[in-house]
Every structure is written in structure tokens, then in C-alpha cells.
Amino acid sequence: MTPKVLRWLAERIGTPGASASVVPDAALEVPSSSLPRRTRAGLAAVVGAEHVLVDPAERLGRCGGLSYLDLLRRRRPELGLTVPDAVVLPADPDQVQRVLDVCVEGDIGVVPFGGGTSVVGGVTALRGDKEAVIVLDLARLDRLVSLDPDSRVAVLQAGVRGPEAERMLGDRGFTLGHVPQSFERATIGGFAATRSAGQASSGYGRFEDMVVGVRLATPRGEWRLGVAPASAAGPDLRQLAVGSEGTLGVLTEVAVRVRPAPAAERYEAFALDGWQRGTSAVRELAQRGLLADVTRLSDPDETDSSLALAGGWKTALLRRYLRGRGIGEPCLLVLGWHGASAREIARRRRAAIRVLRPEGAVALGAAVGEAWRRGRFAGPRQRDALLDLGVCVETLETATYWSRLDELRDRVRAALRDSLDHPLVLCHVSHAYETGASLYFTVLAVRDEADPAGQWERAKRAASEAIADGSLGTITHHHAVGTDHAPYLRAEIGDLGADVLAAARRAVDPTGILNPGKLV
Amino acid sequence: MTPKVLRWLAERIGTPGASASVVPDAALEVPSSSLPRRTRAGLAAVVGAEHVLVDPAERLGRCGGLSYLDLLRRRRPELGLTVPDAVVLPADPDQVQRVLDVCVEGDIGVVPFGGGTSVVGGVTALRGDKEAVIVLDLARLDRLVSLDPDSRVAVLQAGVRGPEAERMLGDRGFTLGHVPQSFERATIGGFAATRSAGQASSGYGRFEDMVVGVRLATPRGEWRLGVAPASAAGPDLRQLAVGSEGTLGVLTEVAVRVRPAPAAERYEAFALDGWQRGTSAVRELAQRGLLADVTRLSDPDETDSSLALAGGWKTALLRRYLRGRGIGEPCLLVLGWHGASAREIARRRRAAIRVLRPEGAVALGAAVGEAWRRGRFAGPRQRDALLDLGVCVETLETATYWSRLDELRDRVRAALRDSLDHPLVLCHVSHAYETGASLYFTVLAVRDEADPAGQWERAKRAASEAIADGSLGTITHHHAVGTDHAPYLRAEIGDLGADVLAAARRAVDPTGILNPGKLV
């Protein structure tokens, strides 16, 4: 963090009281492993003793994901770390199945673990009613199993990380096009388990739109789904497996729709005057089928922060230029185009600009778009730095229909402002559909060092209730449920929905070993 | 049927042995209603006595749908008609819920009934383990509940028929764009319950793509799903309700994505040389995002039949013309364009034709396309007429990935030819995706009057096993499961899938009153 950023932050939210760095592993008291000897031997027989890790550092390394509470606990371990009893690394889907068999036998909880990037507590090593819990780390399931270029279907193992997937597919001329902020670490299995949506979802679709088949290991044996692009053979059970967050089985392979790698890309930015013009423009693009592959609209506060952080005389000039063009309250719109040729992109751009112009959009050119692109995976690192500085920083996201979007934004902003002391609340639309859009909030406040977890909990509850109240929006558009959103899922899917999920879970996992305490 | 058609048919499949007309109601022996007096009174208290029908004609009118066996039974009643004990017509979602409450109390089976157009036995009034079964006819739930033009979301009651939906939406400038062959009679609830795909699904999507929310009445109370266009709040339970065929509740309202009614439409046809060129062209269109809203490719046999039935000197000239253009084995490709303007359509057409030309496509002009469009809902009527004439006529459909499409077609054709005596087997692709396509087969043979049901069962089994064997394709792309496909569902979704569906069913319907004997 530069002095400029620190000054900006102090002006917006006040001066943080105390910095707090991550406590080194050596300084932490790690409970010894409760894994029964018999189970440990059984696991070693499946994956090899060298892939059953009980070393404190290995277990600490998979005790959670990247949620605010996860990050906070690494700085304030007195809040309670949830350390698994072992980390198990199977080599292939068959070994995953046999690991589950051993855990059923021993009645051991199993937390499937991909990149460990859950921001909602999805990989916290909760025990539930089990005496021990293992983390099932899928890192060794790292293969491209097959690629069918005619059908544009690739089968990837669950532990393949985003960049590796792109590299392996890219070698054959294809791309998945799935680039969420967690891209650098997150895995194919995690994308599917959480209904991930990437930054380019307007062009490539949400991850669940890409999934054509799944292979799961479950306590009752292997389960495969997906024999055709579309089917009327009853409910789409693929869409039950997708988003099941490890509670209906461990995804071992995912068949995904791929596309030719784009030969051309172009990122650029526009400014629109105010939230209404901005969302109206994005809605028009979405409903006319003219969205760029990446389409991201910042609200005035987020835009203002971006401009302030860019800083200096250039920003001052830009603000003046925009005012001269009638834009007093700029909303930044980033468009990223991927295409088979520059010509194809040019054609799509022209059509989009015909929609943007009547909305008063002012082109800011490629440099601003490219700047966004360069920094697009930096969020998690910035978050770590802010946490070190004593800032309470959280992101949360929701989605709703267009006609309710303003109300939803207003209510979440009000909830965050009422529940925190002088917070900075930024918002953007990153995923637009014909019928509605997502809202992504970033909130910063001076951390309450006396009760940092309580501060977060109050704000999270206020925001979540604002979303859930009257079914105004979904509790999560692409971060999944985990533990953070579990209290609000029932309101969204009804008691019957929760009962159906619980019944499905019992059907595949009668003794409840899979990801205890998550989802429902 | 004209003499020309009869001659053509005799040449192809032989001369049918005997005609058989529908037996008039008065000639049928209808069992008396087993509905307990107490239940009848309870139902009458909810919907009014005039909406609880026990008259034989009313009950006969809802004893099944339009499957081959349904149609055969009306001509050969000795095969056994399954007549419900009453027909109940609630007025609104609240009455539907209260009807279910009465049926739970009396342990009476409930068959939800929309247009009665199921071709797979989905609305057959099976009793299961119940002493009586009612048909819950949703005809009175015929309202457009709301229309949100900004979000392009309409809420329609489940009993609204296709044409009525289009009329009500059209009055406000919108369309659903869902036109399956059953369009004239089928309902919104039926479309959702069966994962219907319309003829224009390439442009408007399958029905499940249009559904953004559902309201169901269940034995455990009302269930509402869908608060946002997209969500990561666990598995997508909407996709569990969609395709549940009345086993997870009675759909009473469906929220659907609508679009502006097209200001321009254009239908036209092309010929391609052989199945390989034809499917290659459709695949290219699908993978480049250039499909027409209606995209339909007939195989050489289906094309030949269409030409023969059009008949006369024009057909002879056309064949000669095509041979001159290098097309010896023509495959007919119908493209139907819907757009906001003729200019928009022209632009999309140009892009598509750039793909079709290298595949050797020959334009046949608008007249052939328009002829297809005029006759596109005529299938069911032609089928009735053929049945009267003593023809065994059935359609079946499947879907798979592009790389398996040829093998799937070959195997189903072989299965039908091996299991029937001199059948005519026609095939077309009516729904194309980036990763694969559907195959729709029409099969005609002289009816085996000694064992007409056995003849059908052998052929259906042979075709279904060809599809299911090695998971080559889905047992149904858009006709749903009903009773006809129920034996093959388990192979497609696995024992675990069947168990999950059964568990979900028990969760919402503990006593199993909903649509007994269907799906699983």
C-alpha cells in the first residue's frame, strides 16, 4: 500500500487503530490429530502414506479458505482456528472413491478442497457430529482427461487450476473462458461445486452453463451425469450436483463446453452519467444480445474511488473533461471483447456503441480498460494488505431482476452504512442477463479491534437480511453458500427446498460425512 | 389422406390390413367412480360441486394423452383404458393447494393435467397404490398474472395454452417464442413440467431456459423458487422442479423470460448433399452462434418423403435441378428467422449463408420454408389419420454430442428396422447446440393387428436400448419421461440419481399421491 492509498483510505473511513499480521504457523497452537489409527492406515493403503499428511503446517494450510473470518482468524487466532485432522491427497477419481469408502467405514468427516479460495467458509474444516475430519485435497487430480474438438467438450479433473486448464486447452486451440477473481488458484471442481461466474461470463456463460457432465465420488459409490447437451429425461440432476458444495459427492471430473481460443481481444472503458444511465445502458446491451464478453459497470462511489486511487493531475483532467461532456457523476463501464478476429470484435463493438451513444456514454479508450484487466486478479492480495493494516474489508454479491435492482442496491448500501461506523461502500454490476443483473459490493471500515468478528457479523447480517427480506435478491450470485450464507438459504428456497436438499444429501450420504455444516 | 399419400405409403411400407376408428364414448364401458363420498364432498367444498366431474365422458376425456398406446387404446379399448375417478377443475393456485390437501387427507392419487398432449404416457391416470385417482385439470388457471417489461419477466398461470400465452403477451408487445408441435393445446405448466423444447428453441431457448421462477402446490404446502436471474445459492432447485412431471408438486404459476414480439420473420429452405454435409453445416452454425431461430435439418429419407408427398412434376424438376447442382442425396434445411427488423434478419442471414455456401448448400427459397411453417402443427392430426388407416406411426427423439450423432442415428435406425417389418424411418435434427444436437425419428409400419401393442413395445424397446446402451444419447430430448421412458431413466441418471429423485419426491409428498407411476 502506497502512502497515497493510505491517505485516501484515512480520508474515507478514518485511521485504522492497529495493524495485525498473519500469525506464523510456529506461533500457533495446533491440536493434535484425532484421526483414528485404523482410518489413517486405511487411507494410507489407498493413497500411500506420503499422501496422508498430519503435519501441523499442512493441516493449518487447509483449515479454511479466504473468507473475512478465515483471514481474520489467521491474524487473531484466539477467535478459533478449525484445523482438520489430516490432509489426504488422492491421485485419481478411483482413489477419491476409495478414500470416501474408508471415511464411511470410520465415520470421518470429509471436506473436499480445491484451490481453497472460498470466501464464504465453504472449506472450513468443520467436524459436525464426527470425531475427526479430513481435508480431501484434489490437487493431484490435475489432468485434461479428454478433448472432443468436434463437440467442443473437454473432460477435466477436478483439481485442475484455472491457469492450468487454460494452458492445457490452449495447447489444443481451445479456451474455457472462465476467469473469476480466484482464477489463479481456484479449480475446476471448485468452479462447479460453487456455481462460479467468471469476469467474462457475459460472453462465456456462468460455469454451470459450461458443465455438460459430472463424475462424483459419493459414500454410496460413483455417480455420473450428463449424456447429452440437453435432455427432457426428468429434472436436470447436473444442476443439482453443480452448486452442491461438496455435500452431494466429491466432484472428480467435469465435462465442460469449450470454445476456440480467441484470436483477438480488446478492452476499453466508457463513462456514463450516474447509476441510472449506467444500468440502463447495460440492460439495453443485455437485452439486445450485445454484451461484451466482459461487461462491468461501477457505481459513482466505486468509480470515484478508482479515479482517486489512479490519482494525480491526470484524474483531475479526466474529471474536468467528463464534466465538460455532461458527466457530473461518472460511472465507469469496462468492456472486454474476445473474438475470432479484430473484424468480428469491431462489428460487435459498433453495434454496442450504437446503444451506448444515446445513453450519453463517453469513450475513455483502451488504456483504462487495459488497466482494469491488468489488475483484475489483484483483489485478494489487496484484501490481505488491507487486513494487515487494520481495515475491515469484505465483498458481498447478489442478483435480482432489473426492476428491483435500484431498490436492492439502496437497501444493501443502507444496511451496510447503518451497521458499520463510517464505511466506504462501493458497488458494481459484473454480470448482466436479459432479466436482471448481479450487484457486487465492496465495503471498507476501520476494524473494531475490540470485537472484529462481531463487527463483521453485524454488517453481514444486516446486508443479508436486506437481500433476503421480501425475496428482493439472491443471497449469493457467485460466491456460493458455505457457512456464511447458510442461515439465509432457507428463506430463499423455502423449507421445502431445504428439506429436498437434505433428503438428496441423505440419499447419497446416509451417514453425513460430506462437508459437515455446509449448505444446509 | 389423399389417394396420392395412400399410394406413396403402400409403396413404402405395404398396404395396411385394417382401418380402425376411435370407438365412440357411448360404446365404451366406463367403470364407475371409486372416489369416496367424503373426498368428493371435500373437493366440492374447495372448487364448487360443478367443478368436480364424475361424468363418464369427462373422465374418458382425461384418461390419457397422445402417446401411441393412448391413441391405440381409443381404437382398441380391449387393451385397457385407464379412466380416472373424477376430474377436478380448481380456479386458482390457492384452490389447487386445497385440492391437494383434500387428496392427502383421503389418500387419493392426483394426476396434474394441462393440455393432455403428453406423447409418453405422462398424464395416464394410473392409481399406483391408491384406491382412487383424480385428474387435476388446470384449464381454469388461465391468467397472465403479471408482466414486468423492464425485466422481461411474465408470470403465467399453469393452465394457459400456447396460443393464449402468445395472445396475452402479444397485446403487450412481447412473445414467449415457445412453439412446440403441441403448441395449439399444450400449457405453460406442461411446458415446464416436461422440459419442452419448441421449434424455435435455437432462437428462444428451451422452455427450461425461459423459466426464472416457479410456484408449486405440494402435499406439504406451497413452494416458490426463483428470486434472481442467476444464483450460486446451492443447487438450482428450479431445474429440479422443471422436468418433474407432476411428481414434485403441481405447477400453478411459472415466471418466464419474455422477449419483444418479432417485427419481422422470414422462413426459407436450403438443400445440402447428404447427412454429413447437412449436419456439418448445422454444427458450424451452432458453434459460430449463427443458428436461425428455427433450424431444422431433414435426413435424406425424410427429405425424400417430403419431396414425394409434395409430388408431381415440380418435384421431378426440383430433383433434377439439385442433381445439376451436385446434390444427389438432398437433405432439406429449413431456417426460420425472427427479428426486430428485416435488416437485422438480413444481417444474420448473410452471416449464416457465408457458412452454408462452402458446405455446398443450394437455396430453395421462401416457398419451401413457408410450406413447412404452415404445416408445422399438423403432425398430431396426420398421426390420427394414419392410425385410423391401420398404420403404426410413432415418433421418438434423443440428443447427443456432435461426435456421436452419426452413430446414434445409425443405431436407432437399425434398431427400428430390425424390430419392425419393412418400416419407413425418417429423421431430422430440430435442435442444435454448441456441443451436440437432437435427433427426431418418425417411424411408420403396417400395424400388426394381431398384437398392435406388442409390435409397438418391441420397436420402442429396441430403439430405447440403442439409445441407452453405452449412454450413447439421452432417452428423451423434449418429450419427457412419463411411463414410456421410465424403464430407461435409471440407466441415464444412475441408481443414485433415481434414489435422489425418489428422496426428493418423498420430501414433498410423503404419502405419494402425486402422479403415481410416472418418472421413477
Whole-number Å distance between alpha carbons of B352 and B199: 18
Retrieve residue B230's grid coordinates.
Answer: 442467476
Confidence (pLDDT) at B4: 82
Residue A313, number of CB atoms within 10 A of its CB:
7
Delimiting residues of CATH 3.30.300.330 domain(s) in chain B:
379-479
pLDDT in tens, B55-112: 999 999 999 999 999 999 999 999 999 999 999 999 999 999 999 999 999 999 999 9
What is the overall mean pLDDT for chain B?
A: 96
Higher pLDDT pick, B192 / A6 = B192
Candidates B147, B208, B237: best to mutate against A (most CBs of A within 10 A) is B237
Does the structure show a pLDDT above 80 at B1? no
Confidence of residue B309 (pLDDT cuts 50, 70, 90): confident
Whole-number Å distance between alpha carbons of A202 and A205: 6
State the average pLDDT over residues A469-474.
Answer: 96
Q: Identify whether B440 is a catalytic site residue.
A: yes
Confidence of residue B17 (pLDDT cuts 50, 70, 90): confident
C-alpha distance from B143 to closest chain A C-alpha (Å): 21
Helices (H), B65-200: 68-75, 93-106, 162-170, 188-193
Angle between helices A274-287 and A405-419 (to 10 degrees): 140
- Which A residues 15-44 touch B at CB under 8 Å? none
Confidence of residue A313 (pLDDT cuts 50, 70, 90): confident
pLDDT in tens, B136-178: 999 999 999 999 999 999 999 999 999 999 999 999 999 999 9
A399 contacts in B (CB within 8 Å)? 228-231
On whether the CB atoms of residues B367 and B373 are closer than 8 A, the answer is no
Confidence of residue A231 (pLDDT cuts 50, 70, 90): very high
Confidence of residue B395 (pLDDT cuts 50, 70, 90): very high
Delimiting residues of CATH 3.30.465.10 domain(s) in chain A:
144-260
Confidence (pLDDT) at A5: 81
Confidence of residue B311 (pLDDT cuts 50, 70, 90): confident
User: For chain B, how are helix, strand and coil distributed in percent, rounded to 5?
Assistant: 45, 20, 35
On whether the CB atoms of residues A246 and A217 are closer than 8 A, the answer is no
What pTM was estimated for this model as a whole?
0.97
pLDDT in tens, A114-145: 999 999 999 999 999 999 999 999 999 999 99
Candidates B208, B496, B518: best to mutate against A (most CBs of A within 10 A) is B496
Does the structure show a pLDDT above 90 at A7? no
What is the overall mean pLDDT for chain A?
A: 96
**Inter-chain residue contact B232 with A196, CB threshold 8 Å:** yes
State the average pLDDT over residues B261-288.
Answer: 97
Does the structure show a pLDDT above 80 at B331? yes
Report the greatest alpha carbon distance in chain A. 75
Three-state helix/strand/coil letters over B467-493: HHHHHCCCCCCCCCCCCCCHHHHHHHH
Retrieve residue A186's grid coordinates.
Answer: 481456484
Confidence (pLDDT) at A17: 81
Delimiting residues of CATH 3.30.300.330 domain(s) in chain A:
379-493
Confidence (pLDDT) at A149: 98
CATH fold of B144-260 reads: 3.30.465
Whole-number Å distance between alpha carbons of A228 and A261: 23
> Does the annotation place B116 within a ligand binding site?
yes
Residues 6+ apart with CB under 8 A from A465: A415, A488
What's the CATH code, domain A379-493? 3.30.300.330
Confidence (pLDDT) at B7: 87
Residue B122, number of CB atoms within 10 A of its CB:
32
Whole-number Å distance between alpha carbons of B373 and B293: 13
Q: Identify which of B248, B203, B198 has the alpha carbon closest to the alpha carbon of residue B222.
A: B248
At residue B302, φ and ψ (nearest 5 deg) are -70, -40
Count Cβ neighbours within 10 Å for each residue of B48-71 and write b for 16 or more, e otherwise: eeebbbbebebbbbbbbbbbbbbb
Does the structure show a pLDDT above 80 at A350? yes
On whether the CB atoms of residues A240 and A248 are closer than 8 A, the answer is yes
Dihedral over Cα of A481, A482, A488, A490: its sign: positive
Residue of A nearest to B234 (CA): A243
Residue of B nearest to A221 (CA): B496
Entry field: residues in chain A: 520
**Inter-chain residue contact A477 with B231, CB threshold 8 Å:** yes
- Which B residues 99-158 touch A at CB under 8 Å? 148, 150-153
State the average pLDDT over residues B369-398.
Answer: 91
Residue of B nearest to A216 (CA): B496
**Predicted ipTM?**
0.96
**Which position among B68, B204, B267, B440 bears the catalytic label?**
B440
pLDDT in tens, A354-404: 999 999 999 999 999 998 999 888 888 889 999 999 999 999 999 999 999
> Does the annotation place B279 within a ligand binding site?
no
Residue A406, number of CB atoms within 10 A of its CB:
14
On whether the CB atoms of residues A307 and A319 are closer than 8 A, the answer is yes
3-state secondary structure of B436: strand
Confidence (pLDDT) at B222: 98
CATH of A264-374, one of 3.40.50.300, 3.40.50.150, 3.30.70.3450, 3.30.460.80: 3.30.70.3450
**Inter-chain residue contact A501 with B244, CB threshold 8 Å:** no
Q: Does the beta carbon of A240 lie under 8 angstroms from any beta carbon of chain B?
A: yes
Q: Which residues pair with B475 in a beta bridge?
A: none
Q: Does the beta carbon of A195 lie under 8 angstroms from any beta carbon of chain B?
A: yes
Confidence (pLDDT) at A18: 77
Q: Does the beta carbon of B412 lie under 8 angstroms from any beta carbon of chain A?
A: no
Does the structure show a pLDDT above 90 at A177? yes
Retrieve residue A237's grid coordinates.
Answer: 440432476
Whole-number Å distance between alpha carbons of B516 and B520: 9
Does the structure show a pLDDT above 80 at A464? yes
Q: In the CATH scheme, what architecture does the domain B379-479 have?
A: 2-Layer Sandwich (3.30)
pLDDT in tens, A242-293: 999 999 999 999 999 999 999 999 999 999 999 999 999 999 999 999 999 9
Question: What strands, in cross-sheet order, belong to the sheet with A436-446?
Answer: A362-365, A264-273, A330-339, A294-298, A424-429, A436-446, A391-401
Retrieve residue B418's grid coordinates.
Answer: 430390425
State the average pLDDT over residues B194-220.
Answer: 97
**Where do the DSSP E strands lie in B299-359?**
330-339
